[in-house]
Structure 1
Amino acid sequence: MTFDITRIADPLFVSENRLAAHSDHRWHQRTEGDSEQLLSGTWRFHYAEHPSTAPDGFADTAYDVSAWDEIAVPGHIQLQGYGRPQYTNVQYPWDGLEDIVPGQAPAFSNPVGTYVRTYTLDRPLEEGERLSVAFLGAESAVAVWHNGVYVGYATDSFTPSEFDLTGTVVEGENRLAAQVFKVTAGTWLEDQDFYRFSGLFRDVVLRRRPRVHVEDVQITTDVAADLGTATIRAQVALDGSGSVSATLSGHGSVPLPLTEAGDGTLSVEIEAPRLWSAEDPHLHELAVEVRDEAGEVTERFTVPVGVRRFGIEDGLLKINGERVVLLGVNRHEFGVNGRVVTREETEADLRLLKAAGVNALRTSHYPNNSYFYELADRYGFYVIDEMNLETHAMWDAVVRGRIGLEEALPGDRPDWLPALLDRAASMVARDRNHASVVMWSCGNESFGGSDILAVADWFRSVDTRPVHYEGVHWDPRHPETTDVVSRMYAPVTEIEEFLATHRDKPYLLCEYAHAMGNSFGAVEKYIDLAYREPLFQGAFVWDFADQGILMTTPEGESYVGYGGDAGERPHDGEFCGNGLVFLDRTPSPKLLEMAQLYQPLHITVDRDGVAVHNRHLFTSTGGYAATVTLAREGVVLASAPFTLEVAPGSSASAPLPVEIPDEPGEYTVDVAFALVAATDWAPAGHVVASAQGVFVVEGTEPAATAPGAQAPQLIDGIHNVGVRGEGFTVLFSKLHGGLVSYRAGHGDAARELLHSIPKPSFWHAPTSNERGWGMPARDGQWLLASRYASLATTDPESGAQNPATTVVGDAVEVAFRYTLPTTPASESTVVYRVSGDGRIDVRLTARPGEGLPDMPEFGLLIETDAAFGHLRWYGEGPHESYVDRRASARLGVWESEVAELLTPYLRPQESGSRTGVRWAEVTDEAGVGLRVECAAGMEFSALPWTPFEIENAAHPVDLPPIRKTVLRPALMRRGVGGDDSWGARTHPEHLLPTGELEFAFTLRTVTPA
């Protein structure tokens, strides 16, 4: 048998001589791991841009590869200096570069990586033993030779490709060779939204099979309707003549033997089983022993078993008889080394997600490494296991009318069905023993058709789990393809309207809350719906972590690159930056918001006490320690433990264990429920749910000026208006149109607090979502208004001067009127009232021209010196918050360095703001600085850059050196939105009004105490 390279363009050439897929149990003979030999490490490597330039004869044992490069396995070749990584979302990587049809590989560029390594077996093969090699991940197809003999070929990048080596193995040194093709016919089925790589990106493993061997085991658990008993069955496929015995641990103190039930099945029934769920991921252990006909043990292995019942019951998705809400996240298998993700990194991801309240994951959009499922079993996640299928570009072509329905891929094409069924079978055989896998998914964004229907029917023919597929929404010819209604990015109102008349299937959002850049706004609406509409059973955030490539500038600075940064074309820019966490797993503010919304206890705090609804299905609040903390403006006044036992699915309330004082002021009451004991995923003390109540005790308003303050001195000059008082000087420019100086102190020791003239601000750096719906084009007039406002001329009718200077009681008031270059023209006025104690009360108004769109923000942009780099504020924090993403923020006194406040999204954009700010001050090392106050609460931003500088930077590393601190107190900024990133706008209630606006706040100097 020889390898025919021309066949890689044939969709029917799915595999050749590949071993049948089997369960992922790991057997051993004498000691744990003795049946495996890892071949990962350093291989000899040859890179060719096209199969025609790949080497000939390399597989022969006499072929000298000593001059070849060395490469790491696992690893992507594009991240090791060969070719370019390429990020595309919908479009195929070759689109517009080569005119090819589905199945064909590009003639111009189709990189081939040729790998060679030698090995010696840890010990010789024993009589009757067989040897295989498993490539656990090869993108996107691999051909294999052993000691010069061709042994097989396989497609599907994301399930194992295993080949028998028994007939070609020799004593001593053996030579294994492989060619990995980036593009084959199968690649047309792998158009996922991700970086396009190639190579051996998962481990390569040698496996020994003893003379009598369990090739495959299928475990099922049948739980009685009353949950009182469960039957565990293990169906084994025995290769060779012998016998199998098994025991079950984890139920009682003594392992229970399984008995033969015929057809190679062993079974045992247990009473009062401890059931597996995301809340209590208890795993039994099945220990299997295999003997040959002489009674000698040939192998042993164990399989964790989660005893649970999941499925559609009474029209709802239920786990162990209870309706479940899937609080989900989509997770690409991606990290700092691309899709080369270790077990340790995977475990860290799952611990982080578990601690954030996530109970469900979707393997978008391919099967993950096998240890992901093992860890999901142990930590407790409901997993939608998705087969490796996405043909988004072809789907898009159908929807856009570029091709007809008959050309959809895979659609109704019979020549593509074998590849689909092969991928489905490989996934099911490997993953079906995992309790965490609760649904099979037919793939992602591949339209519809009879081929995908056949896959769904096959799933149902071999397993009882429900089947998921979203594409039925776009091609409704075969609604029976999916057992659930699955949608992406549907607004809450649309879901409610649909469910008002469609009550036949549970409804899921397999993707929602597109977390691109600064987004994740108004997500609480979805969570609220999930807990009041029985058929809406959850949603999966898109997605877990930013995809990015570690890169270095010519100057040696490191940064995270995105589409196009590697010089690839075509590409889709920063559309890969959708993560709740950044590439290095640093949590973004979006993760903190999700954790608040996903928390298992719904808590409300009022003067009457604390009310808790326990959203757990099986867990009471008894495992949590509750604490109530009373504070006033950041100062803790009292803290007390709090006992409230709430059964799963129930509600209860209790009075506060602390008393809110009668003294006037603003008080916060924080309630937190924390783990009493450590778990696998978090230490004792980890807060699983929290809430805050804010209470105002009314009292006498403070005096307008400090006691004893003298009226300030007014100096109305030719070109400037000066105002002096004890310890301060203020200067307004009639020529340049604004406040040009605000000094703390007098003489040479005075500190200037302003870097330039404050100007009305109507603009922020567009977020990724705003770019998606065309905000810069629609709202660009507000950018002009912010940058190019001009001082209005004297009013010809009233003769009023601009600026207008007035003495009002013991204060001096200076008003500037600006004309804004919008069409039609708009106006803005800034009025400064300077009191004798140095306080400046600012009143900002805007009168937009008729018909102009809502503003991105409305406030004042104040530049100060970079030395004022420490921010302390009383408001919501500590992390970034916006009007539609503030559930996780808490009112308190917080502090941070200004240089650290711009959230490092892949592409710089509006970020770093705080909501509900009562006061904020920026100070230097000596404690001198500027204070901004707004008793009603404002949005406040302190950053080292203006919105214009942020907008101009393609990456954080491109931002200019820090030369100033930029304050932006604002009435409001537009909410970040995030239903999707290509058209969905911020919800109306989170937009600024379009009429006349007014905003008032106060400036003060800050001096050391």
Structure 2
Amino acid sequence: MSQNPAPAAPTLAWLSDPQVFAVGRLDPVSDHVTYPDTTKATFGAPSPWRQSLDGQWLVASAPRADKRPVGFEQPSFDRSGFAPIEVPGALQLQGHGRPQYVNTQYPWDGHDALKAGEVPEDNLVGCYVRSFTLEDAFKGKRTILTFEGVETAFYVWLNGRFVGYAEDSFTPSRFDVTDHLVEGENLLAVEVYHRSSGAWLEDQDFWRLSGIIRPVFLEAWPERHVRDIFLNTDLTDDFSQASLRLRLKLDLPAADKTRLRLSLSDPNGKVVLQDERDADAEMDFYLPVADPLLWSAEAPHLYHLTLSLLDGAGHVTEVVPQRVGFRQFELKDGVMRLNGKRIVFRGVNRHDFNPRRGRSVTLDDMLWDVQFFKQNNINAVRTSHYPNRSEFYALCDEYGLYLIDEANLETHGTWSIEKTDPDRVIPRDRDEWRPAVLDRAANMLARDKNHPSVLIWSCGNESYGGRVLADMANYFRECDPSRLVHYEGVFHDRRFDTETSDMETRMYARPQAVEEYLRSNPEKPFVSCEYMHAMGNSLGGMHFYTDLTYRYEQCQGGFIWEYIEQALYGTAADGSEQLLFGGEFGDRPTDYNFCADGLVTADRKTTPKMQEVKALYQPVRLLPDGKGVRVINDNLFVSLDAFVLRYRVLRDGEEIASGTADAKVSAGEEAYVALSLPGLSEAGEYTLQGWLEERHDRLWAKAGHEVAFGEHIWRVAKPPEAVAEPQLKLVRGDYNYGVSDGHTKAIFCRRFGGPVSLVNTAGREFLEKPPRPIFWRAPVDNDRGAKFGAIYGHWRSASLDAHQSSYTYTDRGADYRFKVPGSREEVSVSYRFQADGSIAVSAHWPGDPALPAPPLFGLMLPMPRAFDRFRYYGLGPEENYADRNKGARLGIYERSVVDNVTPYVTPQESGNRTGVRWADMFDADGNRLRIQALHAPFELGVSPYTPFQIESAPRPIDLPKPNRTIVTVLARQMGVAGDDSWGSLAHPPYLIEAGEPLTVEFSLRIS
């Protein structure tokens, strides 16, 4: 065991010296836990040899080092001015300083002109203290103090004596404090600094926080101690036999013999291997395992290894329980393979995040995340952009998730400028940064190396390229050839391309660029380490990426950015508690709402985007036709025996038949399952829907949980019917034209461009104002990043300023034409009473090739607020768009108008539905307006707000109190896009072309 000697007098100069990052810190080791005997040694159980120091501490903070309480670490210091604080937790979220969100820029940019490694004078420092009494189980043993994570640099004293110093915020720092302890009460003091040279290596896209953010504990080491474990599983070519390799580092007494005993049990508890041998300080040996059950995300089989150390008399002195996953991950013929099978990552990028605690996540947070991933067909996580809490890896082992484990390294602000200056980039080829960078690699590998879920080591994120990163990659390979190495930054600096990354990995490459690479006969497989920027109403066109994984063997999936929005609870301008984004804490510089780009909200509520993700990530493809279902099992290792195939038949949205079937399809195979369906000859629209459900309870879901879905839609034609002329009462006034069929009465106005009244026999008014042509939507985040206003701004004014140019009354209704500013073309809207009491509406835009295409076209119908619910037959249940409806399904759905507004952090277009056949707007008294598609389905938007109200509100609390219902019936709306949020619009199939004529036709019927 090595430990850098701790000088008697620490110095603040260490903070700005990149070559000082660990003083008095022990070498990193695996994250195993030791126990005194086998009765207590259960994996994950609390150990009597660990004493938690979490809970309430005392703290005093200062905005800069020269204002801190010097000498606070001494037992005699007067700490009456110190305040309570929870550990783990961030200083800034407990009343000390304020959180700051920046993305690529360094947080001090514009305040201080610093050279790489220097720290600003304004540098929040937190001076922590707590007392403890060592538990009896520690007596006579060495005592190790462990901090699992402290941002970003800290000094430690025990009973007034200096212990050590460390950086690297997201891996453990361990100190031997045996000689610093006293009988009775001990005083632990920690001085934490927000900025250090280490902060230059931690320029991640996240809130800049500091403090003791992860657990703190004491650990007892007996005389005979398993200090480090390194497990590897080697498999034969046919995967029928395995060798378990153990590399151990032990602390042993010199004067007495020690024996090592081990026992390995399979996932069912059967002992499959036992061994006992003399122990040495360093051991490296193999043990055979026959017919191993292999670990994968689909079938996460875990063996249980128990290591015991025995003294010369044969007494057990220490026990270590350890999980083992037998699996082999390799790059073969240019393709990544797990246990011999080509793997596809259906992944997300994940930060440790809690909206009240920042990166101090709880065990419940981590468990919720893992179960959520499994429930939504996510099989992989990239730990962006630092090692996550150790317990998260254990959950991934148990539940089955593949991990890219990413080193705590990002230096984005040193190179992401208008023109990269190589002299500014760190670490690049700079020798003074190499030790700190390699130390971060060593810390991560040492802690996480025994987790089967970790398939790939990552050299960090967005740190350009260079020799130092290549050295890190080679370090990973030398220490652990059983895994591959990932690094995206070589895309910017190809000098050490193949040396640094085993795969071609890019961020936000459009699918056309990905396909171009895949068609170039590449040596490396392709992974999108970040794609589908999930900011606001996004993820349009995701299927273009997932489609490539089925067409190209070397396209091996990707990781959506990102999983969870990083918004923090705080006090809004109106005094209420809200989730706030960058800048709303007074933090400058900031990147504002760019932290809100997740699939789930900061408080872990699912967004409608997950409907698409779950569908496109499903591991089984179900392709129904009119007689059965084609089942393609894309799982690599598991058959579908554990699932039930359920199906139902809908006619015009109503269920008329249902049933179950077995789909016992082996991994990688497909089969056609014929279904016994009733005669389906009656006229109408039919839908055959099939879905796979879990047959039994799983760790992450109950029996009945849906895993995969597919549907087929067809029509049985209805014979044409004779159309009668309606019997109408007509009243021609000077300004208004009344038309009534005895049930519905409409008043058309020549001044206001449409019907000003639509009432039933009871006098209930259904219109607040006349319907108006609409070309504009409230921009989504992707629109704003793509200069939506500059490109399409004309259509905003066109929607506001289009005016009636002519009108014509007919014997059954009225026609209107609207002049569109800046165009020679006009919108025509017609209304015609039909024999069935409905009013046929047709709105037509002929297109104008002289103008850019509009974002959308249709009619906006303002209705009274009382019509506060709607029911529709179309695609749902969640909002969907032309480029994001692969996960939607045809059905009849209902919800309130208010709930149809998705609460994105920044108000924007939301709540749209595609493929709508009909929609009912109704009030509490049962009054109903049916909007029926006439020739083709329409798109439907329902909201309490106009698009202009939405786009003018910076935050949801700025939206006005709902006082109307806005129904938008659209011929088409452009997609929401999602390739990125800083320049990419929707793909061409989901844009409206310049000059394209657009027509929407529907009927209005009161009941």
- 1:874-953 alignment, distance < 5 Å: 874-935=873-934, 936-953=936-953
- State the match for 1:119 in structure 2: 132
- C-alpha separation in 2, matches of 1:498 and 1:632: 45
Listed one character per residue, the Cα deviations across residues 430-478 of structure 1 (whole Å, up to 9, x for unaligned) are: 0000000001000001100001011011111100111100011110011
Aligned partner of 1:42 among 56, 69, 92: 56
- State the match for 1:796 in structure 2: none
Aligned partner of 1:636 among 648, 655, 663: 655
- C-alpha separation in 2, matches of 1:122 and 1:853: 74
- State the match for 2:490 in structure 1: 472
- C-alpha separation in 1, matches of 2:641 and 2:138: 56
Kindly indicate whether residue 451 of structure 2 is the aligned counterpart of residue 434 of structure 1.
Answer: yes
State the 1:335 CA deviation. 2.0
Kindly indicate whether residue 33 of structure 2 is the aligned counterpart of residue 26 of structure 1.
Answer: yes
State the 1:641 CA deviation. 1.1
- State the match for 2:43 in structure 1: none
Aligned partner of 1:697 among 716, 722, 727: 716
User: Which shifted more, 242-251 or 518-527?
Assistant: 242-251
- State the match for 1:775 in structure 2: 788
- 1:80-119 alignment, distance < 5 Å: 80-107=94-121, 109-119=122-132
Residues 221 and 231, structure 1, Cα contact 8 Å, conserved in 2 = yes
- State the match for 1:989 in structure 2: 989
Kindly indicate whether residue 688 of structure 2 is the aligned counterpart of residue 711 of structure 1.
Answer: no
Residues 258 and 266, structure 1, Cα contact 8 Å, conserved in 2 = no
Residues 569 and 580, structure 2, Cα contact 8 Å, conserved in 1 = yes
Aligned partner of 1:2 among 5, 9, 12: 9
Residues 913 and 942, structure 1, Cα contact 8 Å, conserved in 2 = yes
- 1:514-529 alignment, distance < 5 Å: 514-529=533-548
Q: Residue 454 of structure 1 aligns to which amino acid in structure 2? A: D
Secondary structure at the aligned position of 1:216 is classed as strand
Secondary structure at the aligned position of 2:442 is classed as helix
Residues 827 and 847, structure 1, Cα contact 8 Å, conserved in 2 = yes
Q: 1:657 to 1:551 in 2, by over 3 A?
A: farther
Secondary structure at the aligned position of 1:351 is classed as helix
State the 1:849 CA deviation. 4.0
Listed one character per residue, the Cα deviations across residues 179-198 of structure 1 (whole Å, up to 9, x for unaligned) are: 11111001011111111111
- 1:5-404 alignment, distance < 5 Å: 5-30=12-37, 31=40, 32-107=46-121, 109-123=122-136, 125-127=138-140, 129-241=141-253, 242-250=258-266, 253-258=270-275, 263-336=282-355, 337-397=357-417, 400-401=418-419, 403-404=420-421
- C-alpha separation in 2, matches of 1:438 and 1:468: 10
Kindly indicate whether residue 502 of structure 2 is the aligned counterpart of residue 492 of structure 1.
Answer: no
Flag structure 1 segments of 5+ consecutive residues without an equivalent. 793-801
State the 1:573 CA deviation. 1.7
State the 1:701 CA deviation. 4.0
Kindly indicate whether residue 746 of structure 2 is the aligned counterpart of residue 725 of structure 1.
Answer: no
State the 1:864 CA deviation. 0.5
Secondary structure at the aligned position of 1:472 is classed as helix
Flag structure 2 segments of 5+ consecutive residues without an equivalent. 1-7, 41-45
Q: Residue 652 of structure 1 aligns to which amino acid in structure 2? A: A
Residues 622 and 691, structure 2, Cα contact 8 Å, conserved in 1 = no
State the 1:634 CA deviation. 2.8
- C-alpha separation in 1, matches of 2:722 and 2:437: 76
Kindly indicate whether residue 434 of structure 2 is the aligned counterpart of residue 421 of structure 1.
Answer: no
- State the match for 2:700 in structure 1: 681
Q: Residue 756 of structure 2 aligns to which amino acid in structure 1? A: V
User: Which shifted more, 248-257 or 910-919?
Assistant: 248-257
Q: 1:292 to 1:142 in 2, by over 3 A?
A: farther
State the 1:982 CA deviation. 0.9
State the 1:821 CA deviation. 2.1
- State the match for 1:799 in structure 2: none
Aligned partner of 1:736 among 752, 760, 770: 752
State the 1:208 CA deviation. 1.0
Secondary structure at the aligned position of 1:407 is classed as coil
Kindly indicate whether residue 422 of structure 2 is the aligned counterpart of residue 405 of structure 1.
Answer: yes
Q: Residue 766 of structure 1 aligns to which amino acid in structure 2? A: P
Q: Residue 919 of structure 1 aligns to which amino acid in structure 2? A: W
Residues 667 and 696, structure 1, Cα contact 8 Å, conserved in 2 = yes
State the 1:354 CA deviation. 0.8
Taking structure 2 as the reference length, what is the TM-score of the superposition? Answer: 0.96
Kindly indicate whether residue 668 of structure 2 is the aligned counterpart of residue 649 of structure 1.
Answer: yes
Q: 1:391 to 1:825 in 2, by over 3 A?
A: farther
- C-alpha separation in 1, matches of 2:533 and 2:401: 21
- C-alpha separation in 2, matches of 1:429 and 1:33: 21
User: Which shifted more, 652-661 or 129-138?
Assistant: 652-661
Residues 243 and 288, structure 2, Cα contact 8 Å, conserved in 1 = yes
Residues 557 and 957, structure 1, Cα contact 8 Å, conserved in 2 = no
Aligned partner of 1:753 among 762, 766, 769: 766
- C-alpha separation in 1, matches of 2:315 and 2:671: 61
Kindly indicate whether residue 476 of structure 2 is the aligned counterpart of residue 459 of structure 1.
Answer: yes
- C-alpha separation in 2, matches of 1:854 and 1:965: 27
Secondary structure at the aligned position of 1:99 is classed as coil
State the 1:106 CA deviation. 1.3
**Percent identity between the two aligned chains:** 41
Residues 843 and 998, structure 1, Cα contact 8 Å, conserved in 2 = no
Q: 1:509 to 1:998 in 2, by over 3 A?
A: closer
User: Which shifted more, 832-841 or 624-633?
Assistant: 832-841
Kindly indicate whether residue 702 of structure 2 is the aligned counterpart of residue 670 of structure 1.
Answer: no
Matched pairs, number: 982
User: Which shifted more, 371-380 or 727-736?
Assistant: 727-736
State the 1:299 CA deviation. 1.2
Secondary structure at the aligned position of 1:371 is classed as helix
State the 1:627 CA deviation. 1.1
- State the match for 1:965 in structure 2: 965
Kindly indicate whether residue 807 of structure 2 is the aligned counterpart of residue 816 of structure 1.
Answer: no
- C-alpha separation in 2, matches of 1:184 and 1:878: 49
State the 1:848 CA deviation. 4.3
Aligned partner of 1:506 among 511, 525, 544: 525
- C-alpha separation in 2, matches of 1:557 and 1:119: 39
- C-alpha separation in 2, matches of 1:455 and 1:699: 69
Q: 1:124 to 1:538 in 2, by over 3 A?
A: closer
Q: Residue 842 of structure 2 aligns to which amino acid in structure 1? A: R
Listed one character per residue, the Cα deviations across residues 195-240 of structure 1 (whole Å, up to 9, x for unaligned) are: 1111111111111111111111111110111111001122110112
Secondary structure at the aligned position of 1:621 is classed as coil
User: Which shifted more, 227-236 or 427-436?
Assistant: 227-236
Q: 1:124 to 1:170 in 2, by over 3 A?
A: farther
- C-alpha separation in 2, matches of 1:785 and 1:573: 30
Residues 260 and 277, structure 2, Cα contact 8 Å, conserved in 1 = no
Q: Residue 920 of structure 1 aligns to which amino acid in structure 2? A: A
- C-alpha separation in 2, matches of 1:131 and 1:259: 28
Residues 628 and 657, structure 1, Cα contact 8 Å, conserved in 2 = no
- C-alpha separation in 2, matches of 1:954 and 1:330: 27
- State the match for 1:827 in structure 2: 826
State the 1:703 CA deviation. 5.4
Listed one character per residue, the Cα deviations across residues 84-112 of structure 1 (whole Å, up to 9, x for unaligned) are: 111111111111121111101112x2111
Residues 23 and 433, structure 1, Cα contact 8 Å, conserved in 2 = yes
State the 1:834 CA deviation. 2.6
- State the match for 1:797 in structure 2: none
- State the match for 2:808 in structure 1: 804
State the 1:267 CA deviation. 3.3
- C-alpha separation in 2, matches of 1:565 and 1:702: 62
Residues 930 and 1003, structure 1, Cα contact 8 Å, conserved in 2 = no
Q: 1:523 to 1:996 in 2, by over 3 A?
A: closer
State the 1:837 CA deviation. 4.7
- C-alpha separation in 2, matches of 1:481 and 1:717: 81
User: Which shifted more, 557-566 or 679-688?
Assistant: 557-566
